[in-house]
């Protein structure tokens, strides 16, 4: 069955949260999810029209099977925006049917059409199926780069 991709709306906040929770469970990070339907709605579909991120949903017929959540960043070297794929998830029972590929292609086409200099994302080092999938799609794994992170507590300490 072909994949239909559509932009998420505020009414999809519960579905997006469900996908996030399923992804967190798969990544063994369920205890880190603090997102709520309301917090997602406020960030993705704010009343001021300035979303902090965007989401697309994948459907097989009328069944939601996956999602991708992304935002825009900027490359100083390229002097162009980039599309950063924060999460891509397809329900296990729908994997291998092309839905993940359809989501990735949709965003790659969008990024290209919008003049983005690159599209990036991270993948956990133990997630061999995803790493293999991304390699097959032509992605380069950037092993020389390390992710640096300040969580809310660390930012608060620095801010003081």
**54: helix, strand or coil:** strand
The 8-class DSSP code of residue 49 comes to S
Contact assessment for residue 116 and residue 80, using Cβ atoms and an 8 Å cutoff: yes
Strands 3-7 and 54-60: antiparallel
The catalytic position among 70, 89, 94, 134 is 134
Torsion angle, alpha carbons of 94, 95, 98, 99, to 10? 60
Contact assessment for residue 6 and residue 12, using Cβ atoms and an 8 Å cutoff: no
Residue 134 is among the residues annotated as catalytic for this protein: yes
The set of catalytic residues is 134
């Amino acid at each position: 069955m072909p994949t239909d991709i559509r932009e998420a709306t505020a009414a999809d906040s519960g579905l997006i949260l469900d996908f996030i929770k399923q992804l967190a469970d798969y990544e063994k990070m369920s205890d880190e999810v603090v997102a709520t339907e309301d917090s997602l709605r406020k960030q993705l579909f704010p009343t001021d029209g300035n979303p902090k991120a965007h989401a697309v949903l994948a459907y097989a017929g009328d069944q939601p099977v996956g999602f991708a959540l992304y935002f825009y960043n900027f490359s100083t070297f390229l002097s162009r925006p980039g599309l950063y794929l924060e999460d891509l998830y397809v329900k296990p029972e729908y994997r291998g049917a092309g839905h993940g590929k359809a989501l990735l292609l949709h965003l790659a086409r969008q990024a290209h059409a919008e003049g983005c200099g690159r599209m990036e994302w991270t993948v956990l080092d133990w997630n061999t199926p995803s790493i293999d999938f991304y390699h097959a799609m032509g992605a380069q794994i950037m092993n020389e780069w390390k992710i640096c992170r300040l969580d809310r507590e660390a930012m608060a300490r620095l801010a003081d």
